């Protein structure tokens, strides 16, 4: 899709999920796209006809292999890439880890639990840093 096609369609809707376990936050290293090489909360696009929370659970499984109980919505963030390349509205959910060990899949280059002490040294997307700071993640439990 060209930039002009995207502008005509309006913003794309995406979802992310914040999952904490043992005072660590699950993060994925983006394997492609504008934020390639940066760490972010797991997530992705919402499919037509898919409920937001269902999309968050699906994207989590696809990117990380983790199963989770999807909780409440904790944030809504706009991502506007330079030169109008893309405009996303990202709905962020909390989640409780239910099953699985993280394994990078789909468009995630890496996935791992990141401790609070490690966070200042991890190259995060600007929006991920904003969400972490606003919600004081990780807390050792679901936000």
CATH number for the domain spanning 42: value is 3.90.79.10
Split into its structural domains, the chain has a count of 1
Q: What is the pLDDT of residue 142?
A: 46
Domain that holds residue 13: 3-135
Is residue 82 situated within a structural domain?
Answer: yes
Is residue 142 situated within a structural domain?
Answer: no
Is residue 119 situated within a structural domain?
Answer: yes
Is residue 62 situated within a structural domain?
Answer: yes
pLDDT, one tens digit per residue, over 97-116 is: 999 999 998 788 999 999 99
Is residue 86 situated within a structural domain?
Answer: yes
Is residue 140 situated within a structural domain?
Answer: no
Q: What is the mean pLDDT of residues 113-127?
A: 94
CB 15 within 8 A of CB 91: yes
pLDDT, one tens digit per residue, over 53-104 is: 999 999 999 999 999 999 999 999 999 987 777 899 999 999 999 999 999 9
This prediction has a pTM of 0.88
Is residue 40 situated within a structural domain?
Answer: yes
14 to 41, 67, 116, 120, 141: CA distances (angstroms): 12, 19, 25, 25, 24
66 to 15, 42, 80, 129: CA distances (angstroms): 16, 10, 28, 22
Is residue 143 situated within a structural domain?
Answer: no
Q: What is the pLDDT of residue 3?
A: 47
Q: For residue 16, how far is the Cα from the chain centroid?
A: 3
| Strand 43-45 to 108-115 pairing | unpaired
CB 40 within 8 A of CB 30: yes
């Amino acid at each position: 899709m060209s930039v002009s096609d995207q502008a005509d369609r309006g913003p794309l809707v995406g979802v992310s999920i914040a999952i904490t376990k043992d005072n660590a936050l699950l993060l994925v290293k983006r394997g492609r796209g504008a934020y390639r090489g940066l760490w972010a909360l797991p997530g992705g696009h919402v499919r037509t006809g898919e409920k937001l929370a269902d999309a968050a659970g699906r994207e989590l499984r696809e990117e990380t292999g983790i199963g989770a109980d999807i909780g409440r919505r904790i944030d809504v963030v706009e991502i506007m890439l330079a030169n109008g390349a893309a405009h996303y509205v990202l709905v962020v959910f909390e989640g409780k880890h239910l099953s699985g060990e993280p394994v990078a899949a789909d468009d995630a280059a890496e996935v791992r639990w990141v401790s609070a002490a490690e966070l200042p040294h991890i190259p995060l997307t600007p929006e991920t840093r904003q969400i972490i700071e606003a919600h004081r993640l990780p807390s050792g439990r679901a936000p």
